[in-house]
Amino acid sequence: MKSEKSRIYSALAPLYDTLMKDVDYEMWADFIDEVIQTHHPNPTQILELACGTGAISLHLSEYEEYELTATDQSPAMVERARQKAAELEAPVQFDTMDFTDIKSSASFDIIFSVFDSVNYLHTSEDILKMLRGCHRILNPNGLLIYDFSTPQNSLEAVDYLNNEEGSFGNYRYFRESKYDPELQFHYNEFDIEEMSDDGLTVINRFREVHKQRIYSLQEMLSIVEQTPYHLVAKYEGFDLVDADENSTRITMVLQCQKQRL
């Protein structure tokens, strides 16, 4: 039996869709589509960053006008996304890419990243690196759409996320969740066991620690002010309602100006 600390989202890849079973991805995709159509009604080329197992892009692929590429740093997550796309016969191209080191010969009308993926960037410099990488491959007047989780969200979520356990197929997991309000870091620690087919023997044990930097709205606005993007909107939750410091999840909509970084 092996026991190891796993690279983020490698051991979790088979369990990810089970962990996220209560997430309404169709609603989330519809919200992204609404944001796009509100601020850029005629896009074609769309790129998703940190796509996980591809649920949002797979739903967006039902809109025939969109040509979708979706990327994630985790090869295991990308492989699972490709399997789902094949099963659904969905025309989404999935690739492995680190969104702090964006490399693409293509350009895009829309780039988006959801489910607080940006919170995995622990410094303003990391976020600026991501923003600049997106700016290089966005078409003029293209949109960058991303959300982030706020301190208010961590304060509300930590109790129901802590001590969560479950199973799927030959895997079972336990999650501990904690938030440090002074340092503004949220930790989700997963202990994962792979079981034998009869469910009696542990074959492998994995541990993944997910560390997210939790940003306030003012902190994020200060970061955006250091870039040539134009702030189009900041939305609360899944509505086209202006966000404020009490919002738990904020979606930023930035427009690419013609000046290049």
- pLDDT tens for 75-91 read 989 999 999 999 999 99
Strand partners, 253: 145, 233
Say yes or no to pLDDT of 4 above 60. no
Contact assessment for residue 256 and residue 142, using Cβ atoms and an 8 Å cutoff: yes
Alpha carbons 118 and 69: distance in angstroms, whole number: 19
Q: What is the pLDDT of residues 26-78, one digit of tens each?
A: 999 999 999 999 999 899 999 999 999 999 999 999 988 999 999 999 898 99
Residues of the chain with CATH 3.40.50.150: 16-149+215-255
Nearest to 19 by CA among 115, 93, 90, 118: 115
Q: Which among 209, 212, 170, 169 is positioned nearest to 4, based on CA atoms? A: 209
Q: Where in the chain is the domain with CATH 2.20.25?
A: 152-213
Instruction: Pick the more confident residue, 187 or 257.
Output: 187
Q: Give the CATH fold of the 152-213 domain.
A: N-terminal domain of TfIIb (2.20.25)
pLDDT band at 16 (very low <50, low <70, confident <90, very high): low
Domain 16-149+215-255, second-level architecture? 3-Layer(aba) Sandwich (3.40)
